[in-house]
Structure 1
Amino acid sequence: MNPSTLIGIVASILLLGVVLFFSADDPTLFIDLPGLGIVLIGTLAATFISYPLREVVRIFGLLGTVMRNERLYTQDDIEELVAISKLWMSGSIRQVEQALEKVHNPFLKTGVQLIIDHTPEEDVVKLMHWRIARLRAKEHAEAQLFRTMAAFAPAFGMIGTLIGLVNLMFMIGDGDMASIGQQMSLALMTTFYGILLANLIFKPVAVKLERRTEQRVALMNMVMQGISMMSQKRRPAFMRETLNTFMAEYDDELNDDESRRLFGENGKGADKADDSQPAGQTGS
């Protein structure tokens, strides 16, 4: 399991457990299955209306992606590119093809295959740019699915609260204060569930997927840079240093971007995070 995801799950469970244990005389009062059903079923129903079926059914697969500890094979890809580049510069096409059969990254394999087929560098780069843009768009849509669910959940929580308040109005005339208080607490539970699901599940999953996309795109850009250098027959040692520097600068720039989002340009707290910022690949 992904360590950060595991830490987040454990921390959230502990937080809720401690809060309920110390703040509620009876923690079971926070269990309201009808209210939870309104939020979950309503959110899923609105999501099915908003998205095609083939996209909605991917929700559980994407949750599994967030849970897995996916590795980046950046250094492996760099070493494979350098080794293949050495063979390419020696003019041994047969050895390049044999080495290419052992490559697991399909993006890298496609680029090298185009080079040994003598495809012009401009066309290779254009194709690889298109594949990067397609992956970014596809995975941005997947993250946006969870952001949409995060917007629906509190809304259906309010709907459940309004239903509870309508029932409460009918009971006011009876003058039973105990029942009125009980109905009020149950009415508020749906809002609690909606906010909890939105901010503890849906939004964090969206951010995790965006972060994963950012890493995948950076790796693909690095591979594209290596393919371009291979096409230009740059020296393998120069290629290795350039690609290592490329990924190091990516990490530095990403950290700078994270700092600006967290603390603002002048070191003060940012007013609002940019929801559209993609983040979050695994290597092959």
Structure 2
Amino acid sequence: MNIATIIGILFGVAILVAATYASTDSVEVFINLPGIAIVGGGTIASTFICYPLREVMRVLKVFMMAMGADELPLENYIKVIVGLSKQVATKGEAHLEGSLKNIENDFLREGLQMLVDGYSKEEIKEILDNRIQQYHEQEYSAAGIYRTMATLSPAFGIIGTLIGLIAMMQGMGSDIGAIGPAMATALTTTLYGALFANMFFMPIAIKVEKRIDEITLLMQVIRDGILFIKDKTPSAIVMDKLKGYLPPRKWASVKAKK
């Protein structure tokens, strides 16, 4: 679970609630169910118009990606690859098959299967590069749905405000005293649109894109490691080359556990 995301959501809600109670004696004025329906429903409807159904249905999956762990254990994968390179150096590629069932990462397992099946280095590189590119493009497209929703929700907030203003002006001749409350209600839809965009949709999009970049980096590490194994590169060199993918603060810890 991504602790930073949870803290951000809870802290943001707490600040908004505290600011709301501090700014008015009538908190009920901020509750506008028709406004929520206009902003939420309009944003969802427009998103369905913009994207195919299969992509929109991935929104929940993308959200769960944003709620994942803060950082991928890249150094753990490097140590696994180094261990496999030692195994190949002593026993050969055919002995990798017994290790495949213990590997949970699909990309790593399938790459090692190519080694076992005797694929050439060029074939392995071409296949893995294509999978990395396809993953990155498709997942970024899914994250783009949240960016689209962040663009649409403020627009529907303004639409809801205009609807409220039109209704308010229509009744101006009958009760002048109702103009103030009606104006406040109309403006809440603009507030909802801005909140949805800047506190939910856009942060999730940014978080997911960062997560996709991390997974893509992991896939690149695995690709390079498999190619090193194919070339029967000594495990110490494999370690030093793959360690370059880590942030400098983690170099020493990986070296210590080599």
TM beyond 0.5: yes
Partner of 2:29: 29
- Asked if 1:90 corresponds to 2:103, the answer is no
Counterpart CA distance in 2 for 1:68 and 1:123 is 33
Residue correspondence of structure 1 range 50-61 to structure 2 within 5 A: 50-61=50-61
Residues 250 and 212 of structure 1, relative CA distance in 2, 3 Å threshold = farther
Counterpart CA distance in 1 for 2:20 and 2:101 is 57
- Asked if 1:234 corresponds to 2:236, the answer is no
Q: Is the 8 A contact 1:164 1:183 kept in 2?
A: yes
Counterpart CA distance in 2 for 1:198 and 1:211 is 18
Partner of 1:104: 104
Partner of 1:200: 199
Counterpart CA distance in 2 for 1:233 and 1:68 is 35
Q: Is the 8 A contact 1:218 1:247 kept in 2?
A: no
Say how many residue pairs are matched: 251
TM-score for both structures, normalised by structure 2: 0.91
Residue correspondence of structure 1 range 142-153 to structure 2 within 5 A: 142-153=142-153
Counterpart CA distance in 2 for 1:9 and 1:97 is 45
Partner of 1:245: 244
Counterpart CA distance in 2 for 1:69 and 1:76 is 15
Q: Which amino acid aligns with 1:47?
A: T
Q: Deviations along 1:22-41, whole A, 9 cap, x unmatched?
A: 11111111000011110001
Give the Å deviation of 1:143.
0.8
Q: Is the 8 A contact 1:125 1:228 kept in 2?
A: yes
Residue correspondence of structure 1 range 60-209 to structure 2 within 5 A: 60-69=60-69, 72-174=72-174, 176-209=175-208
Counterpart CA distance in 1 for 2:79 and 2:64 is 30
Q: Cα RMSD over matched residues?
A: 1.9
Counterpart CA distance in 2 for 1:196 and 1:225 is 43
Percent identical pairs in the alignment equals: 36
Which runs of 5 or more residues in structure 1 are unaligned? 253-284
Q: Is the 8 A contact 1:218 1:250 kept in 2?
A: no
111-120 or 122-131, which deviates more: 111-120
Instruction: Tell me which of the two structures has the higher relative contact order, counting C-alpha pairs closer than 8 angstroms and 6 or more residues apart.
Output: 2
TM-score for both structures, normalised by structure 1: 0.83
Q: Which amino acid aligns with 1:31?
A: I
Residues 76 and 19 of structure 1, relative CA distance in 2, 3 Å threshold = same
Give the Å deviation of 1:124.
0.9
